[in-house]
Amino acid sequence: MSHQPERQVVITGIGVVSPIGVGAEEFTQSLNAGRSGIAPIDLLPYTPFPNHIAGEVKNFSASKYAKTKEQKKGIKVMCREIQLGVVSASLALDHAGIQDGQINPERLGVDFGANLMLSPPEDLGSACFACIDEQTGQFRFDRWGKQGMSEMFPLWLLKYLPNMPACHIGIAADARGPNNSITLDEASGCLVLGEAFRVIARGHADVMISGATGTRLHAVKSMHAAMWDQLAAPTDDPTKAVRPFDLNRTGQAVGEGACTLILEEATHAAKRGANVIGSVLGAGSSCVLGKDGKPNVRQALAQAMRGALRDAEVETHDIGHINAHGMGSSDSDRDESAAIHDVFGADAEKVPVTAFKSYLGNSGSGCGPLELAASLIGLQQGIVFPTLNYETPDPDCRLNVVRAKPLPVTNRTFLKINVTRMGQASAVVVRGA
Protein backbone atom coordinates (compact mmCIF):
# COMPACT_ATOMS: atom_id res chain seq x y z
CA MET A 1 0.00 0.00 0.00
CA SER A 2 1.10 3.59 -0.58
CA HIS A 3 0.30 6.77 1.32
CA GLN A 4 -3.23 8.03 1.92
CA PRO A 5 -4.40 11.59 1.18
CA GLU A 6 -3.16 14.29 3.55
CA ARG A 7 -6.63 14.73 5.06
CA GLN A 8 -7.57 11.23 6.11
CA VAL A 9 -11.24 10.40 6.66
CA VAL A 10 -12.41 8.26 9.56
CA ILE A 11 -15.78 6.87 10.61
CA THR A 12 -16.85 7.85 14.12
CA GLY A 13 -20.54 6.95 14.31
CA ILE A 14 -23.09 4.45 13.04
CA GLY A 15 -26.87 4.90 13.07
CA VAL A 16 -28.97 1.92 12.00
CA VAL A 17 -32.70 1.45 11.38
CA SER A 18 -33.07 -2.08 10.06
CA PRO A 19 -35.21 -5.22 10.05
CA ILE A 20 -32.80 -6.77 12.57
CA GLY A 21 -32.63 -3.86 14.96
CA VAL A 22 -32.76 -0.12 15.50
CA GLY A 23 -29.51 1.29 16.79
CA ALA A 24 -26.02 -0.18 16.62
CA GLU A 25 -26.49 -2.28 19.76
CA GLU A 26 -29.60 -4.15 18.59
CA PHE A 27 -28.12 -4.52 15.11
CA THR A 28 -24.95 -6.04 16.57
CA GLN A 29 -26.88 -8.46 18.76
CA SER A 30 -28.83 -9.77 15.79
CA LEU A 31 -25.71 -10.18 13.67
CA ASN A 32 -23.99 -12.12 16.45
CA ALA A 33 -27.05 -14.33 16.80
CA GLY A 34 -27.24 -14.96 13.04
CA ARG A 35 -30.79 -13.59 13.09
CA SER A 36 -32.58 -12.82 9.83
CA GLY A 37 -35.13 -10.01 9.66
CA ILE A 38 -37.06 -11.48 6.74
CA ALA A 39 -40.55 -12.30 7.99
CA PRO A 40 -44.26 -12.00 7.14
CA ILE A 41 -45.26 -8.41 6.40
CA ASP A 42 -47.27 -6.40 8.94
CA LEU A 43 -46.96 -3.00 7.27
CA LEU A 44 -49.12 -3.68 4.19
CA PRO A 45 -52.30 -5.78 4.04
CA TYR A 46 -51.41 -7.15 0.61
CA THR A 47 -48.45 -7.36 -1.75
CA PRO A 48 -47.80 -9.57 -4.79
CA PHE A 49 -44.68 -11.02 -3.11
CA PRO A 50 -44.47 -14.81 -2.70
CA ASN A 51 -45.51 -15.71 0.85
CA HIS A 52 -46.00 -11.99 1.62
CA ILE A 53 -42.54 -11.69 3.23
CA ALA A 54 -39.97 -8.90 3.43
CA GLY A 55 -37.28 -7.32 5.57
CA GLU A 56 -39.55 -4.96 7.51
CA VAL A 57 -38.60 -2.63 10.35
CA LYS A 58 -41.14 -3.81 12.91
CA ASN A 59 -42.92 -1.48 15.36
CA PHE A 60 -41.11 1.62 14.07
CA SER A 61 -42.22 5.03 15.35
CA ALA A 62 -40.20 8.08 14.35
CA SER A 63 -41.73 10.24 17.11
CA LYS A 64 -39.99 8.04 19.68
CA TYR A 65 -36.67 9.48 18.51
CA ALA A 66 -37.69 13.14 18.11
CA LYS A 67 -35.77 15.40 20.48
CA THR A 68 -37.70 18.65 20.04
CA LYS A 69 -41.24 19.84 19.35
CA GLU A 70 -40.07 21.05 15.96
CA GLN A 71 -38.79 17.59 15.05
CA LYS A 72 -42.10 16.01 16.11
CA LYS A 73 -43.98 18.49 13.91
CA GLY A 74 -41.63 17.75 11.02
CA ILE A 75 -42.57 14.06 11.07
CA LYS A 76 -45.96 15.03 9.61
CA VAL A 77 -44.30 16.00 6.34
CA MET A 78 -42.10 12.90 6.12
CA CYS A 79 -43.08 9.66 4.43
CA ARG A 80 -41.81 6.50 6.09
CA GLU A 81 -38.59 6.42 4.02
CA ILE A 82 -37.65 9.93 5.11
CA GLN A 83 -38.44 9.08 8.73
CA LEU A 84 -36.16 6.04 8.59
CA GLY A 85 -33.30 8.16 7.26
CA VAL A 86 -33.74 11.04 9.70
CA VAL A 87 -33.83 8.69 12.68
CA SER A 88 -30.70 6.86 11.46
CA ALA A 89 -28.85 10.19 11.25
CA SER A 90 -29.91 11.16 14.78
CA LEU A 91 -28.72 7.78 16.08
CA ALA A 92 -25.40 8.16 14.24
CA LEU A 93 -24.72 11.59 15.72
CA ASP A 94 -25.44 10.22 19.19
CA HIS A 95 -23.22 7.19 18.54
CA ALA A 96 -20.41 9.53 17.45
CA GLY A 97 -20.79 11.56 20.64
CA ILE A 98 -21.58 14.74 18.73
CA GLN A 99 -23.67 17.13 20.80
CA ASP A 100 -25.68 20.10 19.52
CA GLY A 101 -23.35 23.02 18.78
CA GLN A 102 -20.17 20.99 19.20
CA ILE A 103 -19.22 21.13 15.50
CA ASN A 104 -18.80 24.38 13.60
CA PRO A 105 -22.04 24.42 11.52
CA GLU A 106 -20.19 25.77 8.47
CA ARG A 107 -17.89 22.71 8.57
CA LEU A 108 -20.65 20.14 9.05
CA GLY A 109 -22.35 18.76 5.92
CA VAL A 110 -24.79 16.13 4.71
CA ASP A 111 -24.60 13.67 1.82
CA PHE A 112 -27.59 11.34 1.67
CA GLY A 113 -29.03 8.76 -0.70
CA ALA A 114 -32.63 7.81 -1.29
CA ASN A 115 -34.91 5.96 -3.67
CA LEU A 116 -37.43 7.68 -5.85
CA MET A 117 -40.31 8.11 -3.40
CA LEU A 118 -43.82 7.18 -4.52
CA SER A 119 -47.13 8.18 -3.00
CA PRO A 120 -49.24 5.30 -1.71
CA PRO A 121 -52.71 5.10 -3.32
CA GLU A 122 -54.47 6.38 -0.19
CA ASP A 123 -52.68 9.75 -0.43
CA LEU A 124 -54.21 10.38 -3.85
CA GLY A 125 -57.47 8.46 -3.52
CA SER A 126 -59.87 11.11 -2.26
CA ALA A 127 -58.56 13.70 -4.73
CA CYS A 128 -58.97 11.30 -7.66
CA PHE A 129 -62.45 10.21 -6.64
CA ALA A 130 -63.49 13.87 -6.40
CA CYS A 131 -62.79 14.17 -10.13
CA ILE A 132 -64.91 11.21 -11.23
CA ASP A 133 -67.87 12.03 -13.50
CA GLU A 134 -71.00 10.73 -11.80
CA GLN A 135 -72.66 9.79 -15.09
CA THR A 136 -69.82 8.13 -16.98
CA GLY A 137 -67.55 7.03 -14.14
CA GLN A 138 -64.60 8.56 -16.01
CA PHE A 139 -61.86 10.75 -14.54
CA ARG A 140 -62.41 14.42 -15.44
CA PHE A 141 -59.11 16.25 -15.83
CA ASP A 142 -60.89 19.61 -15.89
CA ARG A 143 -62.05 19.02 -12.30
CA TRP A 144 -58.54 18.51 -10.91
CA GLY A 145 -57.78 22.20 -10.25
CA LYS A 146 -60.81 22.83 -8.01
CA GLN A 147 -62.27 19.54 -6.83
CA GLY A 148 -59.13 17.41 -6.87
CA MET A 149 -56.43 19.68 -5.46
CA SER A 150 -58.62 20.79 -2.57
CA GLU A 151 -58.64 17.20 -1.31
CA MET A 152 -54.83 16.99 -1.24
CA PHE A 153 -52.67 17.51 1.84
CA PRO A 154 -51.20 21.02 1.21
CA LEU A 155 -47.60 19.91 1.80
CA TRP A 156 -48.07 16.57 0.07
CA LEU A 157 -45.13 16.99 -2.31
CA LEU A 158 -42.64 17.54 0.52
CA LYS A 159 -43.43 14.08 1.88
CA TYR A 160 -42.07 12.37 -1.21
CA LEU A 161 -39.10 14.35 -2.53
CA PRO A 162 -35.89 12.24 -2.39
CA ASN A 163 -33.80 15.26 -1.40
CA MET A 164 -35.86 15.78 1.76
CA PRO A 165 -33.92 13.34 4.01
CA ALA A 166 -30.80 15.48 3.55
CA CYS A 167 -32.85 18.66 4.08
CA HIS A 168 -34.45 17.47 7.33
CA ILE A 169 -31.14 16.09 8.62
CA GLY A 170 -29.35 19.35 7.79
CA ILE A 171 -31.97 21.39 9.63
CA ALA A 172 -32.04 19.10 12.69
CA ALA A 173 -28.22 19.01 12.98
CA ASP A 174 -27.73 22.68 12.02
CA ALA A 175 -25.40 21.44 9.29
CA ARG A 176 -24.66 24.43 7.05
CA GLY A 177 -21.84 22.88 5.04
CA PRO A 178 -22.12 20.99 1.73
CA ASN A 179 -25.48 19.25 1.35
CA ASN A 180 -26.31 16.87 -1.49
CA SER A 181 -28.69 14.04 -2.33
CA ILE A 182 -28.13 11.09 -4.66
CA THR A 183 -30.99 9.01 -6.03
CA LEU A 184 -29.54 5.99 -7.79
CA ASP A 185 -31.30 3.00 -6.25
CA GLU A 186 -28.98 0.39 -4.72
CA ALA A 187 -25.86 2.26 -5.87
CA SER A 188 -26.79 5.37 -3.85
CA GLY A 189 -25.24 4.40 -0.52
CA CYS A 190 -21.66 3.85 -1.65
CA LEU A 191 -21.91 6.89 -3.92
CA VAL A 192 -22.82 9.26 -1.07
CA LEU A 193 -20.08 7.80 1.11
CA GLY A 194 -17.58 8.34 -1.69
CA GLU A 195 -18.74 11.91 -2.24
CA ALA A 196 -18.71 12.72 1.49
CA PHE A 197 -15.23 11.23 1.73
CA ARG A 198 -13.99 13.53 -1.03
CA VAL A 199 -15.70 16.60 0.44
CA ILE A 200 -13.68 16.11 3.63
CA ALA A 201 -10.48 15.07 1.83
CA ARG A 202 -10.41 18.24 -0.23
CA GLY A 203 -11.04 20.41 2.84
CA HIS A 204 -14.61 21.58 2.28
CA ALA A 205 -15.92 20.11 5.56
CA ASP A 206 -14.62 18.49 8.73
CA VAL A 207 -17.61 16.24 9.43
CA MET A 208 -20.16 14.75 7.03
CA ILE A 209 -23.40 13.02 7.92
CA SER A 210 -23.57 10.42 5.17
CA GLY A 211 -25.94 7.54 4.57
CA ALA A 212 -29.01 6.39 2.71
CA THR A 213 -32.59 5.35 3.24
CA GLY A 214 -34.80 3.20 1.08
CA THR A 215 -37.72 0.86 0.80
CA ARG A 216 -39.10 -1.57 -1.72
CA LEU A 217 -41.83 -2.48 0.78
CA HIS A 218 -44.55 -0.23 -0.61
CA ALA A 219 -47.97 -0.66 -2.22
CA VAL A 220 -46.76 0.55 -5.64
CA LYS A 221 -43.12 -0.52 -5.45
CA SER A 222 -44.21 -4.03 -4.52
CA MET A 223 -45.93 -4.27 -7.90
CA HIS A 224 -42.78 -3.02 -9.61
CA ALA A 225 -40.75 -5.68 -7.80
CA ALA A 226 -43.15 -8.38 -8.90
CA MET A 227 -42.92 -7.21 -12.53
CA TRP A 228 -39.19 -6.50 -12.75
CA ASP A 229 -37.35 -8.74 -10.30
CA GLN A 230 -36.81 -12.36 -9.40
CA LEU A 231 -38.41 -12.73 -5.98
CA ALA A 232 -37.57 -15.53 -3.58
CA ALA A 233 -39.81 -18.58 -3.97
CA PRO A 234 -42.23 -19.52 -1.18
CA THR A 235 -40.70 -21.39 1.73
CA ASP A 236 -41.99 -22.64 5.06
CA ASP A 237 -39.35 -20.57 6.86
CA PRO A 238 -39.06 -16.95 5.60
CA THR A 239 -35.61 -16.60 7.16
CA LYS A 240 -34.35 -19.23 4.70
CA ALA A 241 -35.76 -17.48 1.63
CA VAL A 242 -32.73 -15.46 0.52
CA ARG A 243 -29.65 -17.50 -0.41
CA PRO A 244 -26.94 -15.32 -2.02
CA PHE A 245 -24.59 -17.23 -4.34
CA ASP A 246 -26.11 -20.59 -3.34
CA LEU A 247 -26.86 -23.06 -6.13
CA ASN A 248 -30.50 -23.23 -5.00
CA ARG A 249 -31.12 -19.49 -4.70
CA THR A 250 -34.50 -18.37 -6.02
CA GLY A 251 -34.43 -14.59 -5.78
CA GLN A 252 -34.41 -11.58 -3.50
CA ALA A 253 -36.70 -10.47 -0.69
CA VAL A 254 -37.59 -6.80 -0.67
CA GLY A 255 -36.93 -4.76 2.43
CA GLU A 256 -36.67 -1.35 4.01
CA GLY A 257 -34.08 0.38 6.15
CA ALA A 258 -31.64 3.22 6.60
CA CYS A 259 -28.12 3.69 7.87
CA THR A 260 -26.00 6.77 8.50
CA LEU A 261 -22.25 6.92 9.02
CA ILE A 262 -20.48 9.92 10.52
CA LEU A 263 -17.39 10.68 8.44
CA GLU A 264 -14.80 12.92 10.02
CA GLU A 265 -11.38 14.34 9.25
CA ALA A 266 -8.92 12.31 11.33
CA THR A 267 -7.23 15.11 13.26
CA HIS A 268 -10.60 16.73 13.96
CA ALA A 269 -11.85 13.42 15.39
CA ALA A 270 -8.69 13.02 17.50
CA LYS A 271 -8.99 16.51 18.98
CA ARG A 272 -12.48 15.83 20.28
CA GLY A 273 -11.55 12.34 21.51
CA ALA A 274 -13.88 10.51 19.13
CA ASN A 275 -14.03 6.73 18.98
CA VAL A 276 -12.75 5.76 15.53
CA ILE A 277 -14.60 2.79 13.99
CA GLY A 278 -12.87 2.73 10.62
CA SER A 279 -11.42 4.74 7.75
CA VAL A 280 -12.64 5.39 4.22
CA LEU A 281 -9.76 4.84 1.80
CA GLY A 282 -11.30 5.28 -1.64
CA ALA A 283 -14.38 5.03 -3.82
CA GLY A 284 -15.31 4.19 -7.40
CA SER A 285 -18.37 4.10 -9.62
CA SER A 286 -19.45 3.10 -13.11
CA CYS A 287 -22.51 2.83 -15.33
CA VAL A 288 -22.47 0.53 -18.36
CA LEU A 289 -25.21 0.25 -20.97
CA GLY A 290 -24.84 -1.43 -24.32
CA LYS A 291 -25.81 0.20 -27.61
CA ASP A 292 -29.07 -1.69 -27.32
CA GLY A 293 -29.79 0.02 -24.00
CA LYS A 294 -29.29 -3.16 -21.98
CA PRO A 295 -27.21 -2.92 -18.79
CA ASN A 296 -23.92 -4.75 -18.37
CA VAL A 297 -23.85 -5.42 -14.62
CA ARG A 298 -20.64 -7.42 -14.78
CA GLN A 299 -18.62 -4.71 -16.50
CA ALA A 300 -20.09 -1.94 -14.35
CA LEU A 301 -19.16 -3.74 -11.14
CA ALA A 302 -15.67 -4.54 -12.38
CA GLN A 303 -15.02 -0.92 -13.35
CA ALA A 304 -16.39 0.39 -10.04
CA MET A 305 -14.19 -2.04 -8.08
CA ARG A 306 -11.09 -1.12 -10.06
CA GLY A 307 -11.86 2.56 -9.56
CA ALA A 308 -12.22 2.16 -5.80
CA LEU A 309 -9.01 0.14 -5.49
CA ARG A 310 -7.14 2.69 -7.58
CA ASP A 311 -8.54 5.59 -5.56
CA ALA A 312 -7.56 3.87 -2.30
CA GLU A 313 -4.13 3.03 -3.72
CA VAL A 314 -4.45 -0.62 -2.71
CA GLU A 315 -4.11 -3.88 -4.62
CA THR A 316 -6.48 -6.83 -4.66
CA HIS A 317 -4.23 -8.78 -2.28
CA ASP A 318 -4.68 -5.97 0.28
CA ILE A 319 -8.43 -6.71 0.56
CA GLY A 320 -9.37 -8.83 3.57
CA HIS A 321 -12.95 -9.50 2.46
CA ILE A 322 -15.59 -8.39 -0.02
CA ASN A 323 -18.96 -7.20 1.26
CA ALA A 324 -21.00 -8.21 -1.78
CA HIS A 325 -24.21 -6.90 -3.29
CA GLY A 326 -25.43 -10.51 -2.97
CA MET A 327 -29.01 -10.14 -4.18
CA GLY A 328 -29.80 -13.85 -4.14
CA SER A 329 -31.09 -13.67 -7.73
CA SER A 330 -29.85 -16.08 -10.40
CA ASP A 331 -28.43 -13.63 -12.95
CA SER A 332 -27.35 -10.90 -10.53
CA ASP A 333 -25.23 -13.21 -8.38
CA ARG A 334 -23.67 -14.83 -11.43
CA ASP A 335 -22.74 -11.46 -12.95
CA GLU A 336 -21.34 -10.24 -9.64
CA SER A 337 -19.24 -13.36 -9.21
CA ALA A 338 -17.88 -12.97 -12.75
CA ALA A 339 -17.00 -9.32 -12.04
CA ILE A 340 -15.08 -10.31 -8.91
CA HIS A 341 -13.12 -12.83 -11.00
CA ASP A 342 -12.44 -10.15 -13.61
CA VAL A 343 -10.87 -7.89 -10.98
CA PHE A 344 -9.31 -10.32 -8.49
CA GLY A 345 -8.11 -12.96 -10.94
CA ALA A 346 -6.50 -15.90 -9.16
CA ASP A 347 -7.45 -14.41 -5.76
CA ALA A 348 -11.19 -14.42 -6.58
CA GLU A 349 -11.71 -17.88 -5.10
CA LYS A 350 -9.61 -17.07 -2.02
CA VAL A 351 -10.79 -13.70 -0.74
CA PRO A 352 -13.69 -14.13 1.74
CA VAL A 353 -17.07 -12.88 0.52
CA THR A 354 -20.15 -12.13 2.62
CA ALA A 355 -23.64 -10.90 1.69
CA PHE A 356 -26.03 -9.25 4.15
CA LYS A 357 -29.23 -9.21 2.11
CA SER A 358 -29.67 -12.71 3.56
CA TYR A 359 -30.32 -10.88 6.88
CA LEU A 360 -31.99 -7.69 5.66
CA GLY A 361 -33.62 -8.14 2.27
CA ASN A 362 -33.14 -5.48 -0.38
CA SER A 363 -34.07 -1.97 0.74
CA GLY A 364 -32.89 -0.33 -2.48
CA SER A 365 -30.91 2.80 -1.63
CA GLY A 366 -30.65 1.86 2.03
CA CYS A 367 -28.79 -1.40 1.43
CA GLY A 368 -25.24 -0.13 0.89
CA PRO A 369 -24.57 1.64 4.21
CA LEU A 370 -26.51 -1.01 6.17
CA GLU A 371 -24.37 -3.79 4.74
CA LEU A 372 -21.17 -1.78 5.15
CA ALA A 373 -22.01 -1.14 8.80
CA ALA A 374 -22.32 -4.90 9.34
CA SER A 375 -18.75 -5.40 8.15
CA LEU A 376 -17.46 -2.59 10.39
CA ILE A 377 -19.22 -4.05 13.41
CA GLY A 378 -17.82 -7.50 12.66
CA LEU A 379 -14.28 -6.17 12.33
CA GLN A 380 -14.57 -4.55 15.76
CA GLN A 381 -14.86 -8.14 16.99
CA GLY A 382 -12.16 -9.43 14.65
CA ILE A 383 -14.61 -11.38 12.47
CA VAL A 384 -16.51 -11.37 9.21
CA PHE A 385 -20.15 -12.33 9.70
CA PRO A 386 -21.33 -15.25 7.56
CA THR A 387 -23.81 -15.19 4.69
CA LEU A 388 -27.02 -16.81 5.88
CA ASN A 389 -28.46 -19.83 4.04
CA TYR A 390 -25.39 -20.55 1.91
CA GLU A 391 -25.27 -24.35 1.75
CA THR A 392 -24.55 -25.56 -1.79
CA PRO A 393 -21.81 -23.89 -3.87
CA ASP A 394 -22.78 -22.87 -7.39
CA PRO A 395 -20.21 -23.70 -10.12
CA ASP A 396 -21.19 -20.41 -11.78
CA CYS A 397 -20.36 -18.47 -8.58
CA ARG A 398 -16.91 -19.70 -7.64
CA LEU A 399 -16.39 -17.57 -4.55
CA ASN A 400 -15.09 -18.13 -1.03
CA VAL A 401 -18.42 -17.35 0.62
CA VAL A 402 -18.25 -17.05 4.42
CA ARG A 403 -20.78 -19.56 5.70
CA ALA A 404 -22.19 -21.23 8.81
CA LYS A 405 -20.11 -19.30 11.36
CA PRO A 406 -18.14 -16.06 11.65
CA LEU A 407 -14.69 -16.03 10.09
CA PRO A 408 -11.84 -14.76 12.32
CA VAL A 409 -9.73 -12.22 10.42
CA THR A 410 -6.71 -9.99 10.91
CA ASN A 411 -6.91 -8.04 7.64
CA ARG A 412 -9.35 -5.20 8.36
CA THR A 413 -9.49 -3.69 4.86
CA PHE A 414 -12.59 -4.58 2.84
CA LEU A 415 -14.35 -3.72 -0.39
CA LYS A 416 -18.07 -2.90 -0.44
CA ILE A 417 -19.93 -3.14 -3.75
CA ASN A 418 -23.48 -2.49 -4.95
CA VAL A 419 -25.20 -2.37 -8.33
CA THR A 420 -28.63 -1.58 -9.81
CA ARG A 421 -30.61 -3.50 -12.39
CA MET A 422 -29.73 -0.70 -14.84
CA GLY A 423 -25.99 -1.29 -14.60
CA GLN A 424 -25.10 1.53 -12.20
CA ALA A 425 -22.39 0.31 -9.81
CA SER A 426 -20.60 1.80 -6.82
CA ALA A 427 -17.79 0.63 -4.55
CA VAL A 428 -15.86 1.84 -1.51
CA VAL A 429 -12.72 0.59 0.20
CA VAL A 430 -12.90 0.80 3.99
CA ARG A 431 -10.52 -0.22 6.74
CA GLY A 432 -11.90 -1.21 10.14
CA ALA A 433 -10.18 0.31 13.18
CATH code, 248: 3.40.47.10
Looking at the structure, tell me whether residues 148 and 234 fall in a common domain: no
pLDDT at 6: 67
Query: How many structural domains compose the chain?
Result: 2
In a domain, 1, yes or no: no
pLDDT tens digits, 189-209? 999 999 999 999 999 999 999
Give the model's confidence band at 49: pLDDT under 50 very low, under 70 low, under 90 confident, else very high.
confident
* Residue 368 pLDDT greater than 80, yes or no: yes
pLDDT at 48: 87
Looking at the structure, tell me whether residues 289 and 368 fall in a common domain: yes
* Residue 2 pLDDT greater than 70, yes or no: no
Looking at the structure, tell me whether residues 298 and 375 fall in a common domain: yes
Looking at the structure, tell me whether residues 136 and 254 fall in a common domain: no
In a domain, 56, yes or no: yes
Alpha carbon distance 117, 382 (integer Å): 38
In a domain, 223, yes or no: yes
* Residue 30 pLDDT greater than 50, yes or no: yes
Give the model's confidence band at 106: pLDDT under 50 very low, under 70 low, under 90 confident, else very high.
very high
Q: How far is CA 142 from the centre of its chain?
A: 41
Q: How far is CA 98 from the centre of its chain?
A: 23
Looking at the structure, tell me whether residues 149 and 297 fall in a common domain: no
Give the model's confidence band at 1: pLDDT under 50 very low, under 70 low, under 90 confident, else very high.
very low
Looking at the structure, tell me whether residues 128 and 231 fall in a common domain: no
Q: What does the mean pLDDT of the chain come to? A: 96
pLDDT at 122: 87
Looking at the structure, tell me whether residues 303 and 343 fall in a common domain: yes
In a domain, 73, yes or no: yes
In terms of residue numbers, what domain contains 423? 9-117+161-432
Contact of 340 with 308, CB cutoff 8 Å: no
What average pLDDT does this structure show over 356-373?
98
- The helix (H) or strand (E) run that includes residue 284 is strand 278-287
Alpha carbon distance 351, 356 (integer Å): 17
279 burial level (CB within 10 Å; 0-12, 13-18, 19+): buried
In a domain, 167, yes or no: yes
* Residue 5 pLDDT greater than 60, yes or no: no
Looking at the structure, tell me whether residues 98 and 189 fall in a common domain: yes
Looking at the structure, tell me whether residues 142 and 267 fall in a common domain: no
Domain's final residue, options 133, 157, 181: 157
